[in-house]
Structure 1
Amino acid sequence: MEPWPRLRLGEDMQDKTTTADQAMALIRDGDVVTTTGFVQSCIPEMLHAALEKRFLDKGHPRDLTLVMCAGAGDSKGLGTGRLHHEGLLKRVIAGNFGRMPKVAQAAMDEKICGYNLPQGVISQLYRACAAGQPGLFSKVGLHTFVDPRYGGGKVNKKTQEDIVKSHVIDGEEWLFYKATKIDVAFIRGTSADPSGNISMEKEALTLDCLAQAMAAHNNGGIVIAQVERIVEEGSISPKDVKVPGILVDCVVVADPPEMHRMNYGVMYDPGLSGEIRVPTKGMLKMPLDQRKIIARRAAFELPPNGAVNLGVGAPDGVAAIANEEKVTPYITLTTEAGAVGGVLAGGSSFGSSRNAHAIMDQNQMFDFYDGGGLDLTCLGMAECDAWGNVNSSRFGGKLNGSGGFINISQNSRAVVFAGTFTAGGLQIALEDGQLRIVQEGRNRKFVQDIEQITFSGTYASSRNQPVLYVTERCVFQLTDRGIELIEVAPGIDIDRDILAHMSFRPLMENVIEMDARIFQDKPMGLLDDLLNANLADRVTYEAERNMMFVNLEGWSIKKKQDVEDLTRVLEEACKKTGRKVKSIVNQNGFRVAEDLYEDYMKSVVYLLKRYSVTTAHFSTSAFMRLKMREALSSRSLRPHIFETSEEARVALEGSGASGMRG
């Protein structure tokens, strides 16, 4: 391919400003073009419009490869949706296709080649390109549709080249993602000086602009930056320069200003750019509908002092619940786009945050996620099967794409999938704290076979990853035997409202009622629950019989702090008695996260050996009883596990009680 007819302004003068039309004239047929943007935010709209116009007017450039991380459009034709015209694109490598439906349709119609790769992988591949590396090794995507054993991320039959390969290194499975060299990078900033130094003071996010610019520049390509304004040479502080002018070839000033909106629903909000801090008390309260019910139940899984990611849709309502319940100061909410802390924004502003603590580059945020930095993620789901596999990428005849879903769901310590039980026309009503299904959704979400595996329940179970599936009417959990129904909303009939609308029968061993507070339109007191402030109320002691009762019914161990808090509360209660005690533990509806079961059992053994004369546990769950028996027996303790409280009481009070002793 011939070299670019470069606009080498720096050889004669320093001013790199030009028009959008002049910049588009530099793009050649067959080039690989990357662009920035996240959902509806930080999109270089003028550059997309200018590229579309040049193709329609001149017929060139054509046969381009588009590389992008997240969706960048309004799903109605703006952003990368402008690039759908036949002949303009030859190939697309993207994390998300849903924001450009006509491009997605072209791929489904076999008119273009296409790959759907994890958003974080593409983000990190920009760095690999910039460093001249051949690609990226990652575990992200194993056992999903991105795994070459299940399609390699190809979206149609026309796409033949393998850009994802599997390898075994030191006995461990890895995926290798081939880097695609970048010829042209579209980036966006707020201010530029004539030398092309770019700052982002009014942007909500920084995304991958630096890595994209470096990837194109180091490949001998061109970097075109869209900005709001030109400022005097040297007026941008060096530490405020996000992309140095050495990487930038062309600077285009957005005109009219609507071409440089913060996002498609917000012209400009200084609270999102971090230029001011806004009061959170005045933020709108969510109405008590199905979305809020789901968000409220999901919020019970929030880990104090932990890092949390929230997906789009029902999950982003968790941020509003955290604010309503005054929980926000005790957790750190994040987005894959780079926002850390504050109150995460929803709607057109999704991905950004008001009163953020920090804004990281997107690729660095995915480093944090992939390395295990996330304590919890709450994500949406389109389909789920009996083994807990989730599809959020291709369903209902549409190619949506995985976005950051695969990176986030595979690497978060715990996962909550959140969404309505059925889709398409679902209507509910709340009457005196009871949930009633007024109109059932047309489409089932819990199906026999999902169209595409975006999350592997089997893989998650093999790694003891705690996973919940939260809907407005019930909650499931992932087990090594498939998904189990564990909670049902008040007013809901299991046969009529749940099983009748599933294509498989879930495990059902110990179903309890969802917390009644979720369905009442008043504060839930969530903070006390998350901090275990009332945990001591679950322990009572009868001195005359030297009997301690521990009520763990409906309680969950979701984080290490829960194990520590339970151990502390029980130890304090035992010490107050001044002697070893007989105890009965109610484990009905009690749940322990899979990856914390060993920690929990170490606490149980410690307390038994130090403070117990004899202890009986009871649970209606046969699986819980079996698991406790096996765990205690393996530690040379004789288990005393019963199905009912009466059996446990009789055993302890009877003369032949053997208890659990070392």
Structure 2
Amino acid sequence: MAQMKKNKVISAREAIALIRENDVVTTTGFVQSCIPEALHAALEERFVETGSPKNLTLIMTAGAGDSKGLGTGRLHHEGLLGRVIAANFGRMPKVAQAAKENRIRGYNLPQGVISQLYRACAAGQPGLFSKVGLHTYVDPRHGGGRVNDLTSDDIVKVVEVDGEEWLFYTATKIDVAFIRGTSADPHGNISMEKEALTLDVLAQAMAARNNGGIVIAQVERIVDDGFLLPKDVRVPGILVDCVVVAEPEMHRMNYGVMHNPALAGQIRVPVANMAKMPLDARKVIARRAAFELPPNGVVNLGVGAPEGISAVANEERVTPYITLTTEAGAVGGVLASGSSFGAATNADCIIDQNQMFDFYDGGGLDMTCLGMAECDEEGNVNTSSFGGKLNGCGGFINISQNARSVVFAGTFTVGGLDVAIEDGRLVIRQEGRSRKFIRQVEQNTFSGPYAKQRSQPVIYVTERCVFELTPDGLELTEIAPGVDIHRDILAHMDFKPIINRPKMMDIRIFRDEPMDLLADLLNLNLCERVSYDADRNMLFLNLEGWHCRSKEDIADLRKVLVDACEKAGKRVKSVVNHDGFKLSESLYDDYAEMIQYLLENYYETTTRYATNAFLRLKMQEALKRRGVAPHVFERKEDAHAFLEATANAANLARRSETAAA
């Protein structure tokens, strides 16, 4: 005889009593948001009172805590955890310390990998194939993500498929899933109308349920049968075993915010008058990084210094022309910072975290800006383990390896650094105690050589200078006004970067007024880079400092040049300054096609110059492929000399023809 569906609402203590020793437990949460605090607290309370359950395995993606003992930080008690598989350890420092001291086994894997492994578990698959983590500390040739000597089992393998290297991550079956929602009916159907993010709750619940495990959902209220609309239910009751109603303080949106309906997508709020950032080192870094924003592109911003880009973009009215995202699942709007990091005000939509990583891993990101703790002369970056601290990689590896362009951002030194902006110049009042640019990073979270191998554009932005990853290593390309190379840069690095002709960082960055960034990103002032000398019939194009990011940029440049040539009324001789010019790797052929078109229709001859040897080489190769004589010189004088020689040769030829006639 069929039975009626049971009421699944029970107390936290009753739910936690279902967990057995040696169980594999997964929990949701992102940084300080969407954390099932009541469940963590109840698990801690049971263990402190009874000494059980022992030797649990904890699986989680992003850090879920306040770094001071809340969230997963409650699970630090000796004997409670035997193993941790996590992307972030920094928000549970006592657990991280236990791992550092070989008291528990641990793996630090990329956040997106763990997120996607939930789906593999749910589908009964043995694991996940991914290129994420190749040539980093996650690669088994460099440690396999193990965090200590006690951890011996390999859960990451290098495999070859059709001649290409991949990593295979072994799935760990889940016994218990802690998830969180807003409302539940008595049968366990869960909605998330007041949550800032949906994260992986559906995949986690399915992974535990399909393994014969249990799913415990924390909510803030119970609603009657039939109240929840089908499309509002994010986790169906067939996956949920227990529903726990949390006290309001245990169900905060995040540790700093009880509830913000704008972050939950329940209302839209004006953002034009959001607080303006003070002009300090953080804003200088964010402003310089903002010049790399791709119009109409999709962007991810990391925690820390990169968060400021969202505020700068809003201040400069650029936000409508880019789409900011977070790995937690927010798409569009103004990204939140602080305790609300990961969410967004006025987001276009919120998708599940594992789906966002699908998008990232597949190449959907046009640009990312991420923090950096250490950087070395090969361009390697460490954010995961440094200074004796196990922090973890979070989503850093997924994002940095797969974005079309990468900006690493952070102060040049750390620990007591004090800088000021005075009269448009950077003044270093006190240097930081610790260096970031060192001989070799302690742990490789991002591989510079692997990025070079794939021709991935990478720059490193600090408050006083900018570096670029080149085929020969790290090159110093920009210096802040007021900064001395030897005193303020080289004296505080463990290696000497490549130094050719670094230019001054844009002076607008250091003035406490709008930068008119929108005009730069939309090429509104591109025509001002073109001038025409009628007496010599010479067209000058100054692309110094211009960044060509997309085919739309090339189309804008072509139109400006065609307009100038048609105004001249005849074919012109063209000289182009490419010093400081940046061209995205995928656009060299499109750029060469534009030059070919102009030669065929508007130019009598053309020449260009650039001090960047790599740019000259790539441009010469692209032009040769199209059958166009390259004429790319290192010095301005050589380019002009070529035009003079060409003009003299043409005049001589004409005189000869006239004499012969």
TM-score (norm 2): 0.96
SS of structure 1 residue aligned to 2:555: helix
> 1:97 Cα shift?
0.4
> Which residue does the alignment assign to 1:237?
229
Structure 1 Cα separation of the partners of residues 649 and 176 of structure 2: 75
Bigger mean CA offset, 423-432 vs 338-347: 423-432
> 1:658 Cα shift?
7.0
User: Residue 350 of structure 1 aligns to which amino acid in structure 2?
Assistant: F
1:197-244 per-position Cα deviation (integer Å, ceiling 9, x unaligned): 101000000000000000001111000000001111110111100111
User: Please, which of 348, 351, 354 is the counterpart of residue 339 of structure 2?
Assistant: 348
> Which residue does the alignment assign to 2:384?
393
Structure 2 Cα separation of the partners of residues 237 and 636 of structure 1: 63
> 1:610 Cα shift?
3.2
CA contact (8 A) 2:379 2:473 kept: yes
Q: How does 1:14-163 map to 2 (within 5 A)?
A: 14-163=6-155
Quick check: 1:481 aligned with 2:440? no
Q: How does 1:251-262 map to 2 (within 5 A)?
A: 251-255=243-247, 257-262=248-253
Structure 2 Cα separation of the partners of residues 194 and 187 of structure 1: 16
Quick check: 1:307 aligned with 2:298? yes
Q: Residue 249 and residue 626 in structure 1: after superposition, are their counterparts in 2 closer, same or farther (change >3 A)?
A: closer
Q: Residue 322 and residue 658 in structure 1: after superposition, are their counterparts in 2 closer, same or farther (change >3 A)?
A: farther
User: Residue 52 of structure 1 aligns to which amino acid in structure 2?
Assistant: E
Structure 1 Cα separation of the partners of residues 202 and 620 of structure 2: 56
> Which residue does the alignment assign to 2:410?
419
Q: How does 1:353-372 map to 2 (within 5 A)?
A: 353-372=344-363
User: Residue 550 of structure 2 aligns to which amino acid in structure 1?
Assistant: K
Structure 1 Cα separation of the partners of residues 384 and 187 of structure 2: 42
> 1:398 Cα shift?
0.4
> Which residue does the alignment assign to 1:216?
208
Structure 1 Cα separation of the partners of residues 202 and 585 of structure 2: 40
CA contact (8 A) 1:509 1:623 kept: no
Structure 2 Cα separation of the partners of residues 163 and 657 of structure 1: 70
User: Please, which of 584, 587, 608 is the counterpart of residue 596 of structure 1?
Assistant: 587
SS of structure 2 residue aligned to 1:271: coil
> 1:625 Cα shift?
4.2
CA contact (8 A) 1:510 1:589 kept: no
CA contact (8 A) 1:112 1:158 kept: yes
Q: How many residues align?
A: 649
> Which residue does the alignment assign to 2:606?
615
> 1:627 Cα shift?
4.7
TM-score (norm 1): 0.96
CA contact (8 A) 1:384 1:390 kept: yes
> Which residue does the alignment assign to 1:4?
none
CA contact (8 A) 2:593 2:626 kept: no
Q: Residue 125 and residue 655 in structure 1: after superposition, are their counterparts in 2 closer, same or farther (change >3 A)?
A: closer
1:394-427 per-position Cα deviation (integer Å, ceiling 9, x unaligned): 1111000000000111111111111011111111
Quick check: 1:228 aligned with 2:214? no
> 1:297 Cα shift?
0.5
> 1:480 Cα shift?
1.4
> Which residue does the alignment assign to 1:559?
550
SS of structure 1 residue aligned to 2:262: helix
Structure 1 Cα separation of the partners of residues 209 and 201 of structure 2: 12
Q: Which runs of 5+ in 1 are unaligned?
A: 1-9
1:598-637 per-position Cα deviation (integer Å, ceiling 9, x unaligned): 3323323332343222222223445544554455455544
CA contact (8 A) 1:422 1:443 kept: yes
Structure 2 Cα separation of the partners of residues 428 and 539 of structure 1: 38
SS of structure 1 residue aligned to 2:65: coil
SS of structure 2 residue aligned to 1:180: coil
Q: How does 1:565-584 map to 2 (within 5 A)?
A: 565-584=556-575
CA contact (8 A) 1:509 1:622 kept: no
Q: Residue 454 and residue 259 in structure 1: after superposition, are their counterparts in 2 closer, same or farther (change >3 A)?
A: same
CA contact (8 A) 2:384 2:393 kept: yes
Structure 2 Cα separation of the partners of residues 435 and 313 of structure 1: 21
Bigger mean CA offset, 34-43 vs 581-590: 581-590
> 1:548 Cα shift?
0.3
Q: Residue 622 and residue 363 in structure 1: after superposition, are their counterparts in 2 closer, same or farther (change >3 A)?
A: closer
Structure 2 Cα separation of the partners of residues 392 and 188 of structure 1: 29
User: Please, which of 440, 465, 488 is the counterpart of residue 449 of structure 1?
Assistant: 440
Structure 1 Cα separation of the partners of residues 646 and 289 of structure 2: 46
Structure 2 Cα separation of the partners of residues 72 and 552 of structure 1: 46
SS of structure 2 residue aligned to 1:351: coil
Structure 2 Cα separation of the partners of residues 203 and 140 of structure 1: 29
Q: Which runs of 5+ in 2 are unaligned?
A: 651-661
Quick check: 1:430 aligned with 2:416? no
> Which residue does the alignment assign to 2:257?
266
Structure 2 Cα separation of the partners of residues 500 and 658 of structure 1: 51
SS of structure 2 residue aligned to 1:176: strand
Q: Residue 155 and residue 658 in structure 1: after superposition, are their counterparts in 2 closer, same or farther (change >3 A)?
A: farther
Identity of aligned residues (%): 71
> 1:643 Cα shift?
4.2
SS of structure 2 residue aligned to 1:277: coil
Q: Residue 621 and residue 369 in structure 1: after superposition, are their counterparts in 2 closer, same or farther (change >3 A)?
A: closer
Q: Residue 616 and residue 261 in structure 1: after superposition, are their counterparts in 2 closer, same or farther (change >3 A)?
A: same
1:329-372 per-position Cα deviation (integer Å, ceiling 9, x unaligned): 11110000000000000000000000000000101111111111
User: Residue 355 of structure 2 aligns to which amino acid in structure 1?
Assistant: Q
